[in-house]
């Protein structure tokens, strides 16, 4: 009889414990992972450095709890003025990639890979000091002008598009509110492997 009472008390105690409510944030996140309909499938993020090289403002779409597809865009202008030539580079980058979440949850180990498309335009001309010196020399030439134009008019432009493969791995934290942060280590292939670091912050909705 005592054993029966003990077993009954133990059973009731375990039942009451099992019915205790879980932490609301845990329940909310577990529900998000049960199926695509409950997931926050859209992510907007800003990555510093990373697969966009300088930075990237991007969008990702979760297609399953383990896989997301993404892209980003960046624009950078670089001016160089070595010696007597002034060069301006305009660089647009657009990475296209896939992420694989090894252990979907709040703390994720992520594998990633794809291509980064670079659109590059370069312009070169004589810098101001060189232009002034050449124009003064031309004007002072005793035989008259040596060229029927001003050196300010000389400019060379070239452009091109290339795509570089990239792959990486990293860690991501995603809170129940949708806040996301990620740190990735990438490898670009440019004839040899070049490592690169990327840090991201964003929001899932």
Render pLDDT for 110-119 as a digit per residue (tens, 0 to 9).
999 999 999 9
How far apart, in Å, do the first and last CA atoms of the chain sit? 57
Of 15-24, 136-145, 164-173, minimum mean pLDDT range: 15-24
Residue spans per domain, the chain: 23-204
Q: What's the mean pLDDT in 44-68?
A: 96
Q: What is the pLDDT of residue 86?
A: 81
Q: What is the mean pLDDT of the chain?
A: 81
Q: Which residues of 155-164 are buried (b: 16+ CB within 10 A; e: fewer)?
A: eeeeeeeeeb
Q: What is the pLDDT of residue 85?
A: 76
Q: What is the pLDDT of residue 134?
A: 61
Q: What is the pLDDT of residue 89?
A: 94
Q: What's the mean pLDDT in 160-167?
A: 97
* 147 pLDDT above the threshold of 90: no
Residue 153 in 3-state DSSP? helix
Among the CATH numbers 3.40.50.720, 3.20.20.70, 2.40.160.20, 2.60.120.10, which is that of 23-204? Answer: 2.40.160.20
Q: What is the pLDDT of residue 7?
A: 43
Torsion angles phi and psi, residue 187, rounded to 5 = -135, 120
> What is the value of pTM for the model shown?
0.71
At residue 18 the predicted structure's pLDDT band, cuts being 50, 70 and 90, is: very low
Cα gap 30→176, rounded to integer Å:
10
C-alpha dist (Å) from residue 11 to 2, 20, 94, 132, 145: 14, 15, 60, 95, 106
At residue 81 the predicted structure's pLDDT band, cuts being 50, 70 and 90, is: confident
Q: What is the pLDDT of residue 87?
A: 87
Q: Are 177 and 122 in contact (CB under 8 A)?
A: no
């Amino acid at each position: 009889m005592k054993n029966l009472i003990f077993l009954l008390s133990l059973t009731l105690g375990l039942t009451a414990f099992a019915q205790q409510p879980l932490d609301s944030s845990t329940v909310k996140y577990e529900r998000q992972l049960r199926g695509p309909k409950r997931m926050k499938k859209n992510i907007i993020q800003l990555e510093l450095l990373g697969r966009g090289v300088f930075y990237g403002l991007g969008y990702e779409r979760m297609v399953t709890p383990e896989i997301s597809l993404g892209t980003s865009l960046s624009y950078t202008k670089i001016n160089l003025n070595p010696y007597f030539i002034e060069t301006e580079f305009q660089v647009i980058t657009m990475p296209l990639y896939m992420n694989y979440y090894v252990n979907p949850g709040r703390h994720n180990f992520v594998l990633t890979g794809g291509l980064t498309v670079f659109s590059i335009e370069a312009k070169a001309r004589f810098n101001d000091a060189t232009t002034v010196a050449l124009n003064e020399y031309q004007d002072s030439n005793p035989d008259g002008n040596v060229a029927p134009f001003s050196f300010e008019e000389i400019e060379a432009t070239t452009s091109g598009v290339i795509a570089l493969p990239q792959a990486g791995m990293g860690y991501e934290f995603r809170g129940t509110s949708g806040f996301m942060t990620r740190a990735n280590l990438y490898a670009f292939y440019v004839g040899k492997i070049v490592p690169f670091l990327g840090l991201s912050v964003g929001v899932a909705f």
